[in-house]
Every structure is written in structure tokens, then in C-alpha cells.
Structure 1
Amino acid sequence: MPIDAAKATAAEPRTTELTWDHKDVQLYHLGIGAGVPATDPGELRYTLEDRLHVLPSFATVAGGGMALAGGLSAPGIDVDLTAVLHGGQTVTVHRPLPVKGSAVQTATVPAVYDKGKAAVILLRAEVADTDGPLWTCDTQIFVRGEGGFGGERGPSGRLALPDRAPDKTVERPLREDQALLYRLNGDWNPLHADPEFAARAGFDRPILHGLCTYGVTLKAVVDTVLGGDVGRVRSYATRFAGVVFPGETLRVRMWRDAPEPGRVQVAVTAADRDDAPVLADTVIEHGQAGPV
């Protein structure tokens, strides 16, 4: 079996040095659609180096996205990339992300779940610099055809949407070359660029990175209900419920204080495909606005 769950979870933690600077942050922000309109002061916070703020979702690509790459090369894990889908993502921020940084990432595989016809690999990356913890990323990787090994099924709870109209709804159009731009952050999986590879994976054309949609959504929430203040975000969790194709439009619905203060619940759909689900079970936990 390509996945040896016992070996993967018992393996020693793997450490990797991460470095990044303003160019990496700017590229990431551009890759998730920042900079439109180009001279908008709100957009310049994401694109101009002398006033740069870092979206917490940058944690998923800092240092070239080594959390995902390191996890898929962990002992006990040997999978076919055509069978791999991103199942879910959580980023917990311990303090605001710096524009320039050098840190150490410690990566582990806390669990491998048996979903029957598929396996779900949980990858954890804890990142700290000389001042202490920066962020923790939990990544769920869904691998088709690798289940049935007799392991634990794992959690399967779903988060119901609030029984009221969303407080805010925005639409975010995606560029036709969005995936080609986003992959420059370090995720080189040909599923997002090569039509022949996408066809072998069962898609009629390349699909957008789930983490690109993840970033687009966080930016929409920060800009719409958090006053553009990236420092208010404490954690951000989602389940990837469906694919997105470059060139489509995302519809992002937001519920404030759902189900309690300090939380924004979000649902994302593909507006061009009758609101087909894209992100589900999505919650952003945040702090209060600071003094002006």
C-alpha cells in the first residue's frame, strides 16, 4: 500500500527553514487577485512594499509552500498526484505575519484517516522564529483509491449555515490565467496548468488551486467585514467542497457573529455554475478592531 499510516504518524518531525520577503508577499497577493483597481488605497496595502500588510493565508505558501510538499514526501506516504485533492485547510495565527521573515517549520503527520474508498492525510506544520510561534497550518489531503486499510474514519461533522440571509455577499471574478499566476508561489502540481494531466485526473481542463480560492475568500472577508485589518484574523478554517475553474466568478456569502461574536461564517459558490459549492464549513475567527 502506498500509504503506511502507522509509519507516517510515527515518523520523527521534519524541520525546514523558511525565508520570505516583500516580493513573495506581493506575488501571493497578486496571485489571489489583489491590485484591482491598481491605484485603490485599499489594494495598495497588498501590493505596495512601503505599506504592505500580510494576509494570514500567506502562511500556506511562505517559503515556497513547503508544508504541503514536505508532507507528501513524509515517510510512509507515496501517492499518485492525479489521485490527490486538497480536502481542507486551517491556519491559526499566533501573531501578525511579518513582511520579511526567517523561521523554522516543524512538520508532522498527526493522523491518516480511512474513508473507505479514499484516505485523508492530516499534515501539520508549526512555524516559529526567534521571537516564538508564528502560525500553525493543518492541511487535509484527500487521496482517492487509498482507503480500506482498516484505520479510523476520523471526524466528519458538517457546519450548518445560519438560518438567515447573509450580512454581506460579494462576487470575485477570477482571471483566466489565475492558476498560472498562483502556481508561481510554489505549488507546481500540473493539475493546475496542463490540460493532459487534468484529463488523466478526470477534469476536462485544469482547475484552480484550492488554496488560491482560500486566499481570495479571506481577502474578501477582511476587506468587507473586518475593515481591511489583516491583524484581526486569529484563525481561518475551510473544507474544499468543489472545484473552481480559472475565469469563473466566486460568490462569497458572509454571516457576522455566527454563531457567536468574533466569528464570521462563510459559504463560497461558483456563480457561473448555478452556485455549485466551492468552500463549505468555513469560519474566520477574529479579534476586535484596534484603536484608530
Structure 2
Amino acid sequence: MPIDAAKAVAADPRTAEITWGHKDIQLYHLGLGAGIPATDPDELRYTLESKLHVLPSFATVAGAGMAMMGGLAAPGIDVNLAHVLHGGQTVELHRPIPVEGSARTTARVAAVYDKTKAAVVVLRTEVADADGPLWTSDASIFIRGEGGFGGERGPSDRLQVPDRAPDRTVDRPIREDQALLYRLSGDWNPLHADPEFAKLGGFDKPILHGLCSYGMTLKAVVDTVLDGDVSRITRYSTRFAGVVYPGETLRVRMWQEPGRVQVTVVAVERDEAPVLADTVVEHS
């Protein structure tokens, strides 16, 4: 059934209540590879409840991430989930995420773009607690075979990599069991755990969640450029450019500019195949 873009955008928002606590934060951070070395004071900020801060990318899994993906059930969208890919992600922070919290999420389809052979659905989730707005999250969902309905093509600009050497480059190894641990934060897609299911999807073995690479990259920027201060982050956006497998290594290159860090991420072992592109961390 073709996408009805006007119906999807006009549909009433979906709301839900979510809660989280320090265990959710710690589990998420461990799923990103935090805690190595286990006694490093810089790592204890991610793992020890008495010193805990919250990496802003936690917004993508708060409440098990259901508010974001629930948008694919909106009126006007009837798609085969096997054709769905996560194309991009942006999180805008209105203030630091607390270690313990409860909030209301409001999710809606913000836009539907026609890429001719595919459609891109932008799912927007706004989250607020008793003290006001916390974050706004935009997930760009790429749906193969659903284009050609005559809608707007939407933005397609690509971010140019600076014509100079990166200011910082760090490598982040991905443990063999990392996808198994990360999925405990709410993304149970067997593509990330079941070898047989992964083969059906055209992969030799289970792949790492794109949002895990997203979180690992933000942690690398926080630890390397922002002096470990998560409260400085105001916005973080990326485009998912390729897959990465557990056991591989992410190479994170960073270019520092006033108020922002531009980033590229590649898989070292596969001739630096792109993983994340058009990636920017904005900060105060």
C-alpha cells in the first residue's frame, strides 16, 4: 500500500509515559563499551551510580526507544518492515538528561520525502518532564520501494569533510559481544544477534546497531574534545553510511570548529568503509 504522506503528517501525535533510572543509564553506557579500564575515573562517570552522568544519545533508547519506532504505525504508513533502514538520527538537548526521570513523549511524523525509489519518513519525538522540555529526537527512516508517490524530494545536501588533517583521531574497538549487550536497552531486532536471520538480510553475520555506533562516537567526542562534560552538548546529528560488525574497530576523526565538532567514522578492518557521515556534535 503506497504511503499517504499528507495523511501521515496530519495524524494526531502519539503520547506515552516513560521512566528511567541509573540501571538503564549504566546498561546503555556498558552497551557502548564504557567501563574499560573499569577503575579509570573517566570511565566511572559512565558506570558508577554515585558519579554517573548521562550521555545525551541515551535519548534514543529512553523508554526502550518505542516512541520513535511507533511512528511507523501512523495512519498513512503501511510498509514492509523488512524494507526499513535507519537513515539518520538527530538529538537536540534542551537541558541535560537526569540520571533518574519520568517524562511524556509525543511522537509524530514530521515529514515524508519522495526519493523516487524509496521514501524517507522523519519521525519526531519530543520529550518533556515536570520541569519542561528535555529533548527532541528526529529519526530519518529510509523505506525501500515506497517512493514515486509525487511528494517533495526533501533535503539531500552532504557535509563536506574539511580540507585539512583532523584535529583528533581515536580508534574504538567493538567487542564481540557488544551487540548482544546493547540490544538489552530495547532494540531486540534479531539482525543484531541471530546469524541465520542476518543471512536472510544479506549479511555474513549479525551487524552492530547503528545507534550503538552513534553512541560510541558521541562518547569518543565527549572524552576527547569536551573534557568529559556531557552538559556542553546541545545537538548531535548523523547519517548512517554503512554497517559495522562486532569485533571490528571504529576510527573516529574529529575536526574542531567554534561551537561544534565535525566527525567521520569508518570501519578500520574493511579498508575504512564508511560507517557514519555528515556527523556534527554542537556544543556550548
TM norm structure 1? 0.95
For the pair 1:274 / 2:252, whether they are aligned, the reply is no
Letter in 2 for 1:281: D
Q: CA RMSD in A?
A: 1.0
TM-fit CA distance, 1:191: 1.7
TM-fit CA distance, 1:79: 2.4
Q: What is the SS of the residue equivalent to 2:44?
A: helix
CA distance in 1, matches of 2:196, 2:76: 29
TM-fit CA distance, 1:2: 5.0
Letter in 2 for 1:21: G
Q: Deviations over 1:86-122 (max 9, x none)?
A: 1000000000100000000010101111111111110
Letter in 2 for 1:201: G
Alignment identity in percent? 77
For 2:167, the equivalent position in structure 1 comes to: 167
Letter in 1 for 2:104: V
Q: What is the SS of the residue equivalent to 1:88?
A: strand
Letter in 2 for 1:244: V
TM-fit CA distance, 1:157: 0.2
CA distance in 1, matches of 2:95, 2:32: 22
Q: Is the 8 A contact 1:82 1:191 kept in 2?
A: no
Q: How does 1:97-176 map to 2 (within 5 A)?
A: 97-176=97-176
Q: Is the 8 A contact 1:97 1:134 kept in 2?
A: yes
For 2:53, the equivalent position in structure 1 comes to: 53
TM-fit CA distance, 1:144: 1.2
Structure 2 alignment gaps of length 5 or more:
none
Task: Say how many residue pairs are matched.
Answer: 284
| Further displaced range: 77-86 or 242-251 | 77-86
For the pair 1:212 / 2:245, whether they are aligned, the reply is no
CA distance in 2, matches of 1:75, 1:98: 33
For 1:179, the equivalent position in structure 2 comes to: 179
Letter in 1 for 2:265: V
| Further displaced range: 9-18 or 193-202 | 193-202
For the pair 1:16 / 2:16, whether they are aligned, the reply is yes
Q: Is the 8 A contact 1:174 1:247 kept in 2?
A: yes
- Extract structure 1 runs of 4+ deviating beyond 3 A: none
CA distance in 1, matches of 2:91, 2:228: 18
For 1:35, the equivalent position in structure 2 comes to: 35
Q: Is the 8 A contact 2:2 2:149 kept in 1?
A: no
Q: Is the 8 A contact 1:15 1:105 kept in 2?
A: yes
Q: Deviations over 1:17-62 (max 9, x none)?
A: 0100000000000001100001100000000001100000000001
Q: Is the 8 A contact 1:81 1:189 kept in 2?
A: no
CA distance in 1, matches of 2:67, 2:170: 30
Q: What is the SS of the residue equivalent to 1:213?
A: helix
Q: How does 1:192-271 map to 2 (within 5 A)?
A: 192-257=192-257, 261-271=258-268
CA distance in 1, matches of 2:191, 2:280: 27
Letter in 2 for 1:265: Q
Letter in 2 for 1:139: A
CA distance in 2, matches of 1:197, 1:48: 35
| Further displaced range: 172-181 or 189-198 | 189-198
Q: Is the 8 A contact 1:82 1:197 kept in 2?
A: no
CA distance in 1, matches of 2:218, 2:2: 34
User: Compared with structure 1, are the counterparts of its residues 61 and 32 closer, same or farther at alpha carbon in structure 2 (3 Å cutoff)?
Assistant: same
For 1:95, the equivalent position in structure 2 comes to: 95
Structure 1 alignment gaps of length 5 or more:
288-292
Q: Deviations over 1:169-199 (max 9, x none)?
A: 0000001111111111111122212222222
Q: What is the SS of the residue equivalent to 2:19?
A: strand
